[in-house]
Structure 1
Amino acid sequence: MRIVAPACPPSREEVARGVDLLTSWGLQAELGEHVFDQWGYMAGRDEDRVSDLNEAFSDPGVRAVIAAKGGKGTYRIVDDLDTDAIGRDPKPVVGFSDITHIHLALWSRCRLATLHGPFAKRDDTYTGPASAESLRRALMTTDPVTLHRDPSEASADVVVDGTATGILMGGNLDTIRTETGAGLPSLQGAILFLEHQRGTGLGEVDRALTQLIRSRALDGLRGIALGQFLGFERDLGDPALGGWGIRDILHDRLAGLGVPVLGGLPAGHGTNPPTIPLGTRATIDTATGTLTVLPAVV
């Protein structure tokens, strides 16, 4: 397994702990040459970050690639990914947040199934035993993955009844919005998974969803699976915003699409993130409150 840093530089100590975890599973974990470089807020220059990725894609000894950290910068290198190499030698890529750019590019250009999962940097507060076990199972077994609606999540009350099956795509909302008009693949026939990081307000969520709707990017969807929308956990509606909270924005923008919507999935930027295959067949069922996804490995 090759650890790379397509976005921001990670902590050496946390990566060392991640390597220890991976090797405890019997895997051989090695680092890309530029993982700990720094150029501005990024893990080295663009050409060096993408070189680490492309070397991992083309190396037949590398059987999986895991991002050390997210942050910012992956969008700068995504057009230079050697998707021909990974198309010839498919291997799962693991990460989330800014790494959504890579997930979308690999699906769009070579139909590669990937893994929306935790980074190689390990922090027991953030990625505890449950998160680690979810990653291990997604990498090393062919078991399907099932997530259950958590009523405590900010998106839990956003439900449009029904069931839907399609290829699961998506990830971080801001990242998907950034790819609109650039590298966003067709979502026809897909289940779209969306999650959102802490630090932005209702207006930014509204703008992102509205941009996707106005661009017709959501035409042909079969369903929507909503993960965590952090920062809105106690959002009961802001009087200054007409009493609206995150549930109102999500329902207002998504219910009109005419597809089932399942909110409340405990996946995203929160603690103990699960690992979810992307680019494989998935089913949402609002009656059981479940998202079930086929494996990304064979």
Structure 2
Amino acid sequence: MESPDRIEMDRILTPPPLRPGEKIRFVSPASLPDRDLVLRQAEILRGWGLDVDFGEHAFCKHDYLAGTDEERLTDFNAALCDPEVRAIFTTRGGKGSYRIADRLDFDAVRRDPKFLIGFSDITILHLSLWKHCRQVGVHGALFVGDGEQEVSLETSDSLRRLLMTSEDIIIRSRPEEPTWALTTEGTVAGRLIGGNLDMVATAAGWALPDFHGAILLLEAVNMYRGQVDRQLTMLRKAGHLNGLAGVAVGQFTRFEFDRRFSVIDILREHLDMLGVPVLGGLPLRHGRSPLNVPIGATAVLDAQAGTLTVRRGNA
């Protein structure tokens, strides 16, 4: 007979879709946000019929962070504990979420799961919530992509559909994305886990969940090639990538792709050693018109078709 603890850890927490009139809250667990940009995002959400409020310290400043660790953690845990708050939007990534990722109110999450929406530095919060609670989150935001002045309709529509319906989410690979060249062959299914490479590496040894049977999502922005190489080397040699079902590669943004030995070559070297299907070119995260995707949900990666499909009915 399975132990109660084992049964509890196997239970997947999938927050229900948002309904008009429900409250969502912006909090700042990482870097200081752009107030005007956040207020514009809030207006988009109000246009969807949602009630929007803000954590007490959402616009505080403590050097490069949005308030002290205690202020940022207090706001985050208050949102987790408030039964009226049905989703938590992070104002931005940047730096600092890793300082509080092990101190979230995991008991509150288990009692009342609600979507966490964020990416980049927020990846480590998603990883910690999956490791401790098996909660499905949202890798995404109402993000203004590279070269864009406002949130694209493609970006906002994908987030609204994800949060306010139970439809399957289909992300199609874009040949114009440099990581499209990494695509191999094969079709696999597994939990989609991961996000920002820097945060996946930062979580190793303390906030990183087991990746066996998972599809690993990777994206990155504004890193040196050597950083990517070091992080993937550590993750692979430490055994953190053992047992992966596949790899979904998103946008690697602000890299020099025309170099003789580019970040694409580095990624290919490491991913080839894993011996699993790889789908690149996915419009997930710091590039133009990025889409939004559930993290922790069951996905099907089809390299030949160029699609990553997240099954909402069997999250």
TM range (shorter): over 0.9
Give the corresponding residue for 2:221: 197
Contact persistence 1:135–1:274 (CA under 8 A): yes
Task: State the distance in 2 between where 1:62 and 1:79 align.
Answer: 21
Structure 1 residues 116-135: aligned runs within 5 Å? 116-119=139-142, 125=149, 127-135=151-159
Give the corresponding residue for 2:131: 108
Contact persistence 1:126–1:272 (CA under 8 A): no
Q: Which runs of 5+ in 1 are unaligned?
A: 238-242
Corresponding position: 1:258 with 2:255: no
| Cα RMSD for the two superposed structures | 1.8
Contact persistence 1:226–1:261 (CA under 8 A): yes
Task: State the distance in 2 between where 1:269 and 1:256 align.
Answer: 26
Corresponding position: 1:63 with 2:86: yes
Residue type at the aligned position of 1:203: G
Structure 1 41/296 Cα, relative in aligned 2: closer, same or farther at 3 Å?
A: farther
Contact persistence 1:165–1:282 (CA under 8 A): yes
Residue type at the aligned position of 2:73: V
Give the corresponding residue for 2:198: 174
Corresponding position: 1:12 with 2:35: yes
Task: State the distance in 1 between where 2:218 and 2:83 align.
Answer: 33
Corresponding position: 1:235 with 2:257: yes
Give the corresponding residue for 2:208: 184
Structure 1 288/121 Cα, relative in aligned 2: closer, same or farther at 3 Å?
A: closer
Deviations 1:95-120 (A, max 9, x none): 00000011001100000000001158
Q: Which of 132, 136, 152 does residue 176 from structure 2 map onto?
A: 152
Give the corresponding residue for 1:240: none
Task: State the distance in 2 between where 1:4 and 1:249 align.
Answer: 36
Q: Which runs of 5+ in 2 are unaligned?
A: 1-23
| 1:128 Cα offset (Å) | 1.6
Corresponding position: 1:82 with 2:105: yes
Task: State the distance in 1 between where 2:313 and 2:112 align.
Answer: 14
SS of residue matched to 2:76: helix
Query: Where do 4+ consecutive residues of structure 1 move more than 4 Å?
Result: 119-124
Contact persistence 1:14–1:122 (CA under 8 A): no
Structure 1 289/121 Cα, relative in aligned 2: closer, same or farther at 3 Å?
A: closer
Q: TM-score, normalised by structure 2?
A: 0.89
Residue type at the aligned position of 2:226: G
| 1:236 Cα offset (Å) | 2.9
Would you say how many aligned residue pairs link Structure 1 and Structure 2?
291
Aligned residues: percent identity? 45
Give the corresponding residue for 2:21: none
Deviations 1:93-146 (A, max 9, x none): 000000001100110000000000115899962522211111111110011111
SS of residue matched to 2:181: coil
| 1:26 Cα offset (Å) | 0.5
Give the corresponding residue for 2:58: 35
Residue type at the aligned position of 1:92: F
